[in-house]
Amino acid sequence: EPEVTQTPSHQVTQMGQEVILRCVPISNHLYFYWYRQILGQKVEFLVSFYNNEISEKSEIFDDQFSVERPDGSNFTLKIRSTKLEDSAMYFCASTELALTTDTQYFGPGTRLTVL
């Protein structure tokens, strides 16, 4: 069964450093998402991406964050200057279409630790 993959599984970085989290969505999917989950808290929506541009973003997704689809398979989340509070699990998800009935397929996540 096709699945969403994410790399790395765990990233440790120093505060102020840039990180790039990578995702490979399911190949025929058109709509991509990033969510995050701070330890012990809810899963929170960050951003959605469709047709090579941001579709929607939350208040969390400020100027420190950016997303890109650099080629036909990867979808990346960049945090320009990490803060301690960016430490969280980051989940990528994709859907085949852009309907609210579409199943979102989530990756296993990247654990980001900011020291």
Partner 1 sequence: DAKTTQPNSMESNEEEPVHLPCNHSTISGTDYIHWYRQLPSQGPEYVIHGLTSNVNNRMASLAIAEDRKSSTLILHRATLRDAAVYYCILAGSARQLTFGSGTQLTVLP
Smallest distance from partner 1 to CB 33, Å: 6
Q: Residues 48, 82, 87, 94: which binds partner 1 (CB under 8 A)?
A: 48
| Measured CA angle at 80 (ends 8, 58), to 5 deg | 90
Contact call for residue 24 and partner 1 (CB under 8 A):
no
Any idea of the CA torsion for 87, 23, 18, 16, to the nearest 10 degrees?
-10
Q: Residues 44, 64, 66, 74: which binds partner 1 (CB under 8 A)?
A: 44
- Binding part of the chain for partner 1, among 11-19, 40-48, 61-69, 74-82 by CB under 8 A, reads 40-48
Cβ(30)–Cβ(98) below 8 Å: yes
Contact call for residue 54 and partner 1 (CB under 8 A):
no
Cβ(5)–Cβ(73) below 8 Å: no
Calculate the CA 109 to chain-centre distance. Answer: 8
What's the maximum distance between 2 C-alpha atoms anywhere in the chain? 40
Q: Residues 17, 55, 81, 113: which binds partner 1 (CB under 8 A)?
A: 55
Positions that interact with partner 1 (CB under 8 A) = 4, 31, 33, 35, 42-45, 48, 55-56, 58, 91, 93, 95, 98-109
